[in-house]
């Protein structure tokens, strides 16, 4: 398979399309805002479809259509609109951070029309265009075999950085766990550097520490590489609010741990820390302060005393 339809040409979909084009895969793209296709218009073997109908018509059976859209209702609505346009043997790939149980249901629904479904966990972010994308794929052996030229073009190398995880739903399940682990790693790094910053008497050069850890240390990682880059420009942190969003994958991982009865305290507590940064602990913190006042007569800092 040397041609694919890409639905969603934003940061991820646009860069993935460009990587495919650079590896000899023709791309027909669709985006509800045509302006998103501008960065691809000069690329050889790229064409823009003005509608989903035009996109499907531009591809030969068996068609492969890769969705890089926000997870949830947006992805589902496009799949609903797309399904009547497809033929048996076509493949729909969902590259969003979709909940794996939704992916199982989508695969079952599409199979009734003879359409194959692949759930693709995608990791690599804005660096994927240059370095390749780590892909975690769920679906039939036949669909993965058909998609192999596309998978190998997107991956860091044809023989690494991607895995056929198993049946439908397994790709997004593995990606969910991947993101849960990511939460824990990020939290550990953040806490560790905060503790080092707290020892002002040592006057530690945190950027130098991070750079040293990048080489030979057992805690070296790509996340540490990125952290080192941030610390080189320490002033950039002064402009950042202490608010850390959560995409939903961390929540699903915590729920999965509860459903399976398997302890996952690091990932769960990392998620709780993100909630705390979003102001979700403000009420409990106020209540705790008042409890201390009640039983021990401890002073309470009022709003106008915070400075």
> Active-site positions?
175, 182
> CB of 41 within 8 A of CB of 48?
yes
Residue 99 tokens, joined: 């909940």
Chain Cα centroid distance, residue 168: 18
> CB of 37 within 8 A of CB of 48?
yes
* Alpha carbons within 13 A on the beta-carbon side of 287: 5
Quote the DSSP letter at residue 239.
T
Residue 154 tokens, joined: 């997107």
- Separation between Cα atoms, residue 238 and residue 306, nearest integer Å: 19
> CB of 37 within 8 A of CB of 29?
yes
> CB of 92 within 8 A of CB of 118?
yes
> CB of 26 within 8 A of CB of 45?
yes
State how far the alpha carbon of 106 is from the alpha carbons of 80, 94, 170, 244, 267, in Å: 10, 10, 13, 31, 27
Instruction: Give the end-to-end CA distance of the chain in Å, rounded to a whole number.
Output: 62
Neighbours of 183 (CB within 10 A): 24
Q: Quick one: which of 178, 173, 101 has its CA closest to 137?
A: 173
- Separation between Cα atoms, residue 284 and residue 162, nearest integer Å: 43
- Separation between Cα atoms, residue 159 and residue 152, nearest integer Å: 7
């Amino acid at each position: 398979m040397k041609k694919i339809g890409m639905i969603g040409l934003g940061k991820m979909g646009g860069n993935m399309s460009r990587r495919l084009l650079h590896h000899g895969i023709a791309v027909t793209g669709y985006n509800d805002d045509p302006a998103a296709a501008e960065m691809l218009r000069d690329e050889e073997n790229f064409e823009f479809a003005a509608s989903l109908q035009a996109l499907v018509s531009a591809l030969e059976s068996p068609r492969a259509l890769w969705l890089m859209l926000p997870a949830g209702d947006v992805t589902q609505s496009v799949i609903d609109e797309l399904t009547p346009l497809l033929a048996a043997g076509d493949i729909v790939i969902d590259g969003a951070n979709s909940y794996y149980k939704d992916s199982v249901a989508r695969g079952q629904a599409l199979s009734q029309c003879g359409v194959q479904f692949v759930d693709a966990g995608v990791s690599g972010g804005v660096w994927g265009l240059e370095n390749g994308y780590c892909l975690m794929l769920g679906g039939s052996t036949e669909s993965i075999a058909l998609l192999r030229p596309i998978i190998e073009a997107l991956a860091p190398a044809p023989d690494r950085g991607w895995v056929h995880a198993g049946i439908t739903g397994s790709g997004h399940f593995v990606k969910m766990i991947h993101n849960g682990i990511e939460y824990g790693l990020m939290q550990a790094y953040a806490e560790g550097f905060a503790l080092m910053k707290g020892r002002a008497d040592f006057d530690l050069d945190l950027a130098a520490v991070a750079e040293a850890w990048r080489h030979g240390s057992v805690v070296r990682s790509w996340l540490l590489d990125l952290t080192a880059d941030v610390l080189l420009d320490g002033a950039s942190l002064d402009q950042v609010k202490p608010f850390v969003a959560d995409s939903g994958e961390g929540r699903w991982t915590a729920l999965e741990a509860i459903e399976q009865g398997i302890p996952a305290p690091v990932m769960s507590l990392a998620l709780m820390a993100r909630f705390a940064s979003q102001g979700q602990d403000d009420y409990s913190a106020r209540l705790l302060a008042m409890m201390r006042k009640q039983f021990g007569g401890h002073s309470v800092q009022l709003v106008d005393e915070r400075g």
